[in-house]
Amino acid sequence: MVAGVIAGITWALETIVLGYALGMTPFFSTEQAIFLAPFVSTFLHDGFSAIWATIYNAVKGNSKNVWKAFKTKSGKFVVLAAVIGGPIGMTGYVMSVNYMGASIGAVASAVFPAIGAVLAFIFLKEKMKWHQWIFLIATLLGVYGLYYSPEMNVTNYALGILGALMCSFGWGIEAVILAKSLTDPEVTDEYALQIRQTTSAITYGIILLPAISLIKGWGITESWSFIGTLFTSEAPWLIPTIAAAGLCATVSYLFYYKAIAQIGASKAMGLNVTYSAWAVIFTAIITKTAPSAIAIVCTLVVLVCSIFAAADIKEIFKKSK
């Protein structure tokens, strides 16, 4: 549970740092830059995260073990989870926000733990007691409340719904596949992290970004050309900031995977979404601005209910006695 909470805290830091990077001039200098920003930033983010994970395993002397893990059947499933959760899930999130507004994106990101919990029950036989389901639903409602906006800004309903489904099912399925893969003693959470981030970055760079360029009617290398301009832009802190976000993500994923391995996918997902509440707290500290009453209530709901959703209340009372 501690690992799950730390995963949420560090992902909140990642969200704030990456948001700061996306606010820099190179990402909104042209219409093309505005369109490519979420896709390119995600690619760079996962790429730097893969580098950090590689360095981490190299320092610990795990490089050979990562390669051995990759060649196992469970390692191949980690690759599958990376494609489903990374390019598919994240692209779906971007689509839902782009075509139906931020509130729908919030719904998609809030619903995925519930979908993952159902899938974990079906395929992994992970059982949650009735009161844990109530707390999980309360947590997700709290997340939704933090990001809800009455303005949907629907520009394409069909693509917006498709994106929301891709996001919620993609992230939910990813957690379930990872939970199953991490039962293999040859695939630890540390090895899985490097495989996951490397796969996601490669898929984004080789397949997704060129495909986006072609769909938009640009040259196949147009997305890569834009990436090149980021390294030579007049915003010298842009790339280091994205690298810092990637480091936060690496730490977050590492603890998230530990939580999945130790308490199961459904409970780990419930703890991981506390990032939305931690982000409110960190933003208030950084900006020295008090959040609204609704934000405070929703933050408390998310933090408290997520803990009880992951914990067995009866066991807690037994141990306290």
Per-residue tens of pLDDT for the chain, all 321 residues: 899 999 999 998 998 899 889 889 999 889 899 889 888 988 999 999 999 999 999 999 999 999 999 999 999 999 999 999 988 888 887 777 777 766 666 666 667 888 888 889 888 888 888 888 898 889 888 887 887 665 556 777 788 788 888 888 998 999 999 999 999 999 999 999 999 999 999 999 999 999 999 989 999 999 999 999 999 888 899 999 999 999 999 999 999 999 999 999 988 988 988 888 898 898 889 888 888 898 899 999 989 988 888 876 665 556 555
Q: Is 215 exposed, middle or buried (0-12, 13-18, 19+ CB in 10 A)?
A: exposed
Which of 205, 255, 180 lies closest to 3, judged by CA? 255
CA trace torsion 52, 55, 59, 61 (10° rounding): 120
CA trace torsion 153, 155, 159, 161 (10° rounding): 30
130 in the Ramachandran plot: left (φ > 0), alpha (ψ -120 to 50) or beta? alpha
